[in-house]
Chains A and B, each alone.
Chain A
Amino acid sequence: MANLTINGKTIDVDVEADTPLLWAIRENVGLTGTKYGCGIAQCGACTVHIDGVAMRSCGVSVSEAVGKQITTIEGLGPNGALHKVQEAWIANDVPQCGYCQSGMIMAVAALLKEKPKPTDQDIDEAITNICRCGTFQQVREAIHEAANA
């Protein structure tokens, strides 16, 4: 049993301590916006915020997440409203299949918190998520738009 704080709520989760946080979030807590893509922290589809830092939840165990503030895509916007990154995503019609986009949006939200006006080079360095549909051109445009919102 682990006590996790996800999107501001404290939840007792019946999992082994070494369970990847990704699977605890998806299967035990039931928040499926966070996606499985590779399981080895390569693709970024499972990105969540842990104490405000973008982390690949497939590579973080439940025990490492205990006592920390975990934010998933479902809890990104303030009080259920859309986060400015989500708004920019909608305005720019960024997603194609959309599967990687939860992780992409979480990574971008963390970037903007650290660097409110990122340069293209900042984006290149910080955003390493895989998108097989190839939405990168719209991702870049939407990041700049969100930064200027």
Chain B
Amino acid sequence: MNQHSMPKLNRRAFVIGTATAGAGLALGLDLPFGGPAVVRAADGAPEINAWVVIRPDDTVVIRIARSEMGQGTLTGLAQLVAEELECDWSKVTTEFPTPGQSVARKRAWGDFSTGGSRGIRTSQEYVRKGGATARVMLIQAAANEWKVPASECTAANSVITHTPSGKTTTYGKVVEAAAKLDPPADVKLKDPKDWKIVGKGVKRLDTSDKTTGKTVYGIDIKLPGMLNAAIKDCPVFGGKLTSFDEAKVMGMKGVKKVVRVNDSAVAVVADTWWHAKTALDALPVVWDEGPNAKVSSATIAKWLGEGLDDSQQAFVGNQNGDVKAAIAGAAKKVEAVYNYPYQNHATMEPMNATALYTSDKCEVWCGTQNGEAAFAATLEASGLPADKCDVHKLMLGGGFGRRGQTDYVRQTVLIAKQMPGTPIKLLWSREEDMQHGLYHPITQCKMTGAFDADNNLTALHIRLSGQSILFSLRPEALVNGKDPVAFQGLNASGEAAIGYTVPNLLVEHSMRNPHVPPGFWRGVNVNHNAIYLECFMDELAQSVGQDPLEFRRRLMTKHPKHLAVLNAVAEKIGWGTPAPQGVYRGIAQHMGYGSYVAGAAEISVTDGTKIKVHRIVAATDPGYAVNPAQIERQIAGSFVYGLTGLFYGGCTVKDGRIEQSNFDNYNSMRINEMPKVESIIMPSGGFWGGVGEPTICVAGPAVLNAYFAATGKRIRSVPLRDQNITFA
């Protein structure tokens, strides 16, 4: 397989897997099992099980292992537990257990990873069981007290009632007794039709403090004696730190120390971050820029372009029939080449973490999408065992995939290790954040379609060329070298399946990994795969003079769930009826993260270069909708992120480094550019799909297809700013 230059193989993910799975067992920690009869929360309230703590005043504390970064998972998971617990929703609060506690309790809270729109869908069953188990124990405790059979008792709103006698008690009154009982071996979960809290658009549990400035994000943590660090990593990825002249800045106000963090980064530690950053800017640094210092967007584009040629090796992701023969024998052939750029996450809160290291303990406070990965990074960087480390999770000022990685945690521990006993908060400047991301991977794609003499689509060839995330971040997850994630939305089946049946289909990926580090991004690969497929579907329809919606429908008869969301947006946008004067429509559908999604856009275009997006209609079938009000917000927000990427995004490479440095040259949509987003939430049941990401992928193709309808011009390259097209 071609390598532009061999990226530094990152085996951290593998280390994380083994560290977290093995640590608790290997260390023989003082496990609570067999210890005191009742496990207590920090405030002394008894725990019924890992998920549920109830205080004597009936307050319910629900433990949330997944991270909250705005997507609403904290509230959704609490709804799922509360539903089965039959508790009073108005008395619910939440807390984050630490990964260290989880490891010590044989991973009582399961997976902490919060990415891939998995927060709810991959933990819904065991958190519901946690709630149901606690309910059964609370009822049993009341029945024991009353000396009646538990089967004669019911629970609702945190009140237990003995039906024959009418006696009642509350959860808070029986919790001490309940906590001493053995949990039932098995519990039956409710039929979704009986849900009372799940499926309702209840208010988020974390809103109030976010309106008053009280919420503590990683950047806000304060510890006694804490110092602040600013960091600079080699601007060229893969380069090294040669030297720095600390004498030039040691006399500057507030500066305490200048430290080599690792082989590529230097940090200044000072009393305040502003002093640290001011000194860092003044610090003379010599870099060894390494072998990538000449790489540019042009050299990357050329190399990826070569991968579009069939002579180059490629991994097959999905195949039926014989595409090449069908294309060779076609009455008509259509071909187009598309591309999608690097994108930074640009979370509003730049990367940061705080660490306190002593010779026998290391504690970290940070926002992370993966508490266990942050914990493993802390172990590795500190060199201390699992029972001497912990990570305290704080609210995230945005994640979008970026905070699933732990580079910033590792750096913080490496700095703190050089100043034992002093808490160190490391904060990246926006510039550092912009230039040391883990970027949405770069790809190009050649699309080829073939028709028979009756204008039936006989073949579709999708040839991707570009970067693999797994190659860089999780090489152990490659399948004989192939990155299955690269085919997101184009697979034959599964949680990201293509919605069309074509007699001859070939989807392949020529993997080319430039030195710019890739990472997971909101929607990541479905963003470009949906643009490639759905814009080209429009091209194919147009080439045979067919309506884009009707053309799709004929290919979707075997994909009823894909078709249902497409039909829903078509109907609501008024497809087939006249649009307002000067307004044009585009449509798209796709599948990712287990959910079926479709979008339709109404836009107008001025002078071919100014686009006003008036209206978006978006539909999703996520199987079950835990909180429809939050799903609506995720849908609307996904269009802001997706359209920002389409119009303003794109990170370019010059001299081996990212050119963009801040929001002045990496812009983000504002409220005046926001279209009205109308959501259709149509859960069909029987499966659990994700919510935070899926709809993002139809934003691009719906608008680009509308642009063609308005102008007759195809745009096949992202971002639009590079073509001098912007929001009106």
Contact = CB atoms under 8 A, between A and B. Distances in A.
15 contacts: A23-B272, A23-B274, A27-B273, A33-B212, A38-B662, A40-B663, A43-B348, A74-B212, A95-B70, A95-B206, A95-B207, A97-B398, A98-B210, A132-B347, A138-B636
Interface residues of B, number: 60
A101 B641 contact: no
A126 to B, nearest CB: 9
Contact of A96 (B72, B272, B346, B672): B72
B400 interface: yes
A37, A40, A72, A127: residue with the most chain B Cβ atoms closer than 10 Å: A37
A97 B253 contact: no
Contact of A134 (B213, B397, B638): B638
B222 to A, nearest CB: 7
B256 interface: no
Interface in A1-53: 15-16, 19-20, 23, 27-28, 30-40, 42-43, 45
A147 interface: no
Contact of A95 (B210, B399, B639, B662): B210
B646 to A, nearest CB: 13
A55 interface: no
Interface in A69-109: 72-74, 77, 82, 86, 89-90, 93-102, 105
A15 B273 CA distance: 12
Contacts of B395: 97-98
Interface string B660-697: 00111000111110101100000000000000000000
B430 A37 contact: yes
Contacts of A102: 213
Contacts of A97: 69-70, 347-349, 395-399
Given A131-B640, A134-B636, 5 more contacts: A38-B430, A42-B662, A42-B664, A45-B348, A133-B641
A121 B199 CA distance: 35
A34 B213 contact: yes
Given A42-B662, A123-B671, A132 B348 contact: yes
List 3 A-B pairs, minimum CB-CB distance, nearest first. Answer: A33-B213, A134-B640, A99-B397
A135 B214 contact: no
Interface residues of A, number: 57
Given A40-B663, A96-B633, A123-B671, A132 B346 contact: yes
Given A45-B348, A98-B210, A133-B637, A32 B203 contact: no
A132 B668 contact: yes
A60 interface: no
B617 interface: no
A135 B211 contact: no
A102 B212 CA distance: 7
Given A23-B274, A32-B220, A37 B671 contact: no
A40 B662 contact: yes
A86 to B, nearest CB: 4
Contact of A31 (B213, B637, B664): B213
Nearest to A138: B633
A127 B671 contact: yes
Nearest to A127: B671
Contacts of B637: 96, 133-135
Contacts of A93: 203-204, 207, 629-630, 633
A137 interface: yes
Contacts of B398: 97, 99, 132-133
Contacts of B396: 97
A45 B641 CA distance: 17
A34 B427 CA distance: 15
Contacts of B123: none
Contact of A27 (B274, B397, B640, B676): B274
A136 B213 CA distance: 19
A70 to B, nearest CB: 14
A28 B254 CA distance: 13
A90 B210 CA distance: 9
B272 A27 contact: yes
A12 to B, nearest CB: 16
Nearest to B220: A32
B307 interface: no
A124 to B, nearest CB: 3
Contacts of B220: 32
Contacts of A95: 70, 204, 206-207, 210-211
Interface string B68-95: 0111100000000000000000000000
B726 to A, nearest CB: 15
Given A16-B253, A97-B69, A136-B674, A131 B213 contact: no
A68 B72 CA distance: 39
A139 interface: yes
Contacts of B207: 89-90, 93-95, 98
B350 interface: yes
A5 to B, nearest CB: 18
A137 B663 contact: no
A130 B211 contact: no
Nearest to A124: B672
Contact of B219 (A36, A43, A124, A125): A36
B212 A130 contact: no
